[in-house]
Structure 1
Amino acid sequence: MSRPVRARDLGIELPGNTGPHNGITDVPGVEVGYTTLIDGDGPLRVGSGPVRTGVTALLPRGKDGVGTACAAGWYSLNGNGEMTGTTWLTETGSLDTPVLITNTHAVGPCHRGVIDWIVEHKPAMATEWLLPVVAETWDGYLNDINGPHVRPEHAVRAIDTAAGGPIAEGSVGGGTGMNCYAFKGGSGTASRVVQYGQYSYTVGAFVQANFGARRELTVTGTPVGNALAADNPLEEADSTPPPGSGSVIVVLGTDAPLLPNQCTALARRVPLGLARTGTTGSHFSGDIFLAFSTANAGALNSSSPRGEPRAGDYDVLRFIPWGRMDPYYRAVVEVVEEAVLNALVAGETMVGRDDHRSPGLPHDDLVRLLRRQQTG
């Protein structure tokens, strides 16, 4: 029997109606690409080597839509981390570049890589100014994080390979060297479909999961961390930061028409989904979240004005009334919880720098614990 790769494959019951791929790429136009960097001796699961890292690229409107603004907002639960470009997001409520996620010490090369890609593919956009959004989590337990392994061309490759449809999870892209609840973590995604009268809109989440102490882990309301306490080399190592460290980046996307402040409101609900998986939010975990809406294409573009304004020079936004936002908040909580679980389930045991090992979540043990809870 092949190893299940998603939470639902294990029979874990999760609420809500998913999109066809149960991922952020269910939002029309969204593309995701990875560059995965693994270097060392032997196969991934048993080999030891210094490089376990990479780059993830999320393109809200795909490659063709770079330069066409989306409404966007962001929120930080804990600021022990980095997401560039957020001052501009706060100022304008708009996002028109790819969003990249990598390791803590590779933000600079990825920032440069986004600029290089835009200069080549969108030269008119590059004649003004570029403030790319690049976020990070810390992979220094498995990866030689201080080495110059991530380069601008790796960011370019992640953007070039971005595509819609089903996407890989676990140890890929920026999530390659990440850990979650002291198990192998990484990249995870999920989606929900929300009905609005005669229309259907999708809310999707992408998570780079690198947070949580083992004792905290909770799955669909069942505390399982203490029962899965065995085989915990990450938290037993003296050289690592305290349990719960590492950070989590969450990117939310939707095609529902929203104002920038409504996107910010979605981002503020992310911690509720994370809390369902058990985390209490470590001081040593940078928890930073971004949300965008692909509706109202171009209405929030910022470009240098030409001449005097004409009679029709207005931007117009169509948006969901504030009083009808609750279904979208619920969808955010559900997709974030499931995306984290998908990252954990997809994670396979990895050995990295200095023979550091991160164990994969033991599926059979988890299923037994959940069934025991269900049967009382």
Structure 2
Amino acid sequence: MTTLADLGVRIGTLPRGSTNSVIDVPGAGLGHATVVYDEPNPPEGRGLARTGVTVVDLGGDPFLEPVPAGVALLNGAGELTSRSQMDEWGVAETPVFLTSTMQVGRVYDSACRLLIEEQPRIGVDDFLIPVVGECDDSWLNDARWMHVTHEHVRDALAAARASVGSGIAPDQGAVGAGTGMSCYQWKGGIGTSSRVLPAGHVVGVVLLCNFGQWDRLTIAGVPVGQLLGRPAHVPPPPAGSCLGVVVTDAPIDHRGCERLATRIGLGLARTGSTAHHGSGEIFMAAATGLRAPRGTASAKAPLTGRELDPYFEAVVDASEEAVVNCLLSAHDVTGVGGKTVPALPREAVAELLDRHYAGPRA
């Protein structure tokens, strides 16, 4: 796995966390279940799978102690379940599950089953609406078949829980929900990055990257896409989507989380995104610093106004870097119809950055 830090490039002035990932946020986790198989006769088998599930764990038990959360919509051709609940109540009550478009129902159902097994008060004290987001991986994945199973969701959730506090950087690129995704018409998938604030809080970002046009790709201000030139492979359509999740341990309320989530779009724009008509750029943020027992309010005062400025900066910088980490970490994937989406050529990118990048070094 290669990241932007490995190339000696630094985005912004805030320091990265120790793993430069969302797991640097105390209590947060990130785990994947990757689903890859080939069965050439779908009527008798399961078709071709290049898909999966990724889980962002918010730590603790968000059903008993909901986490202040908010959603921002840049372009709405996509889905994030529980969005209306977050709009109304201002909290998230489950981990965040990411997958491909046609698998949302399966993941939602499995999330309910798994969380009910863990928490006997679900369905007794109140109902549960899992947070499930998606992007379309049908360029590489045979989306007419239901590939994701209950076991895949279980494994991704278990992996996310196991990553909490591990200090081990999670996998990125063509893993989990990102297995079949493309970014800037190269291989995309999952990207993550983190920033440490002067107050000691941490902001982590996770992106499911499935968007962009090759000639707009920009890395740390360098027009890498144009300098590389048109890809030799047959590229996926230049639209797609991006699901983004911000997690922080800062004391930020629902409205502040909405504002944090909005800033993911600025990070994407720095890399060249214009949020095409067919894209689903849907972002959420969750802040564990104000979580409190169900039905009660935190005694802490939320950060407001200009106090949020460094957190906005952290989200923008970490989002920009998460896109690049996704691209640099991905590997070539061949999928449905024999189509191949290669990884961004890392050595060529490193040479271009050495030659053209004039900013601070990592």
- TM-score clears 0.5: yes
1:99 to 96, 99, 102: 96
Matched, 1:276 2:270: yes
Following TM superposition, by how much is the alpha carbon of 1:315 offset from its aligned partner in structure 2, in angstroms?
A: 5.1
Following TM superposition, by how much is the alpha carbon of 1:66 offset from its aligned partner in structure 2, in angstroms?
A: 5.0
Structure 2 letter corresponding to 1:61: G
Distance 1:372 1:14 in 2: 17
Assess, with a 3 A threshold, how the Cα gap between structure 1 residues 184 and 339 changes in structure 2: closer, same or farther: same
Matched, 1:262 2:256: yes
Following TM superposition, by how much is the alpha carbon of 1:374 offset from its aligned partner in structure 2, in angstroms?
A: 4.1
Corresponding residue of 1:29 = 27
Corresponding residue of 1:44 = none
1:176 to 176, 179, 188: 179
Q: Do the aligned residues in 1 keep the contact of 2:103 with 2:148 (CA within 8 Å)? A: yes
Aligned with 1:341: secondary structure? helix
Distance 1:102 1:156 in 2: 13
Q: Do the aligned residues in 1 keep the contact of 2:51 with 2:100 (CA within 8 Å)? A: yes
Corresponding residue of 1:322 = 305
Assess, with a 3 A threshold, how the Cα gap between structure 1 residues 185 and 364 changes in structure 2: closer, same or farther: same
> What do the CA deviations read for 1:298-346 (whole angstroms, capped 9, x no partner)?
25x35xxxxxxxxxx7654421132211111000000000111100000
2:321 to 338, 341, 346: 338
Superposition RMSD in Å: 1.8
Identity of aligned residues (%): 38
Distance 2:5 2:38 in 1: 33
2:68 to 66, 71, 96: 71
Q: Which runs of 5+ in 1 are unaligned?
A: 42-48, 303-312
Q: Do the aligned residues in 2 keep the contact of 1:67 with 1:97 (CA within 8 Å)? A: no
Q: Which runs of 5+ in 2 are unaligned?
A: 40-46
> What do the CA deviations read for 1:87-125 (whole angstroms, capped 9, x no partner)?
000001011111100001000000001100111111212
Q: Do the aligned residues in 2 keep the contact of 1:53 with 1:139 (CA within 8 Å)? A: yes
Q: Do the aligned residues in 2 keep the contact of 1:259 with 1:317 (CA within 8 Å)? A: no
Larger radius of gyration: 1
Aligned with 1:102: secondary structure? strand
Distance 1:234 1:320 in 2: 48
Assess, with a 3 A threshold, how the Cα gap between structure 1 residues 210 and 123 changes in structure 2: closer, same or farther: same
Q: Do the aligned residues in 1 keep the contact of 2:214 with 2:230 (CA within 8 Å)? A: no
Corresponding residue of 1:289 = 283
Q: Do the aligned residues in 1 keep the contact of 2:106 with 2:149 (CA within 8 Å)? A: yes
- State the number of aligned residues: 344
**Structure 2 length-normalised TM:** 0.91
Structure 1 letter corresponding to 2:74: L
Which region of structure 1 is more displaced relative to structure 2, 160-169 or 326-335?
160-169
Corresponding residue of 2:223 = 223
Aligned with 1:337: secondary structure? helix
Structure 2 letter corresponding to 1:81: G
Distance 2:312 2:290 in 1: 20
> What do the CA deviations read for 1:34-81 (whole angstroms, capped 9, x no partner)?
11101139xxxxxxx82110001111115x555421110010100000
Assess, with a 3 A threshold, how the Cα gap between structure 1 residues 234 and 141 changes in structure 2: closer, same or farther: farther
Distance 2:234 2:265 in 1: 24
1:367 to 335, 338, 350: 350
Matched, 1:204 2:204: yes
Aligned with 2:197: secondary structure? strand
> What do the CA deviations read for 1:160-181 (whole angstroms, capped 9, x no partner)?
2222232111111101111100
Corresponding residue of 1:187 = 190
Following TM superposition, by how much is the alpha carbon of 1:11 offset from its aligned partner in structure 2, in angstroms?
A: 2.3
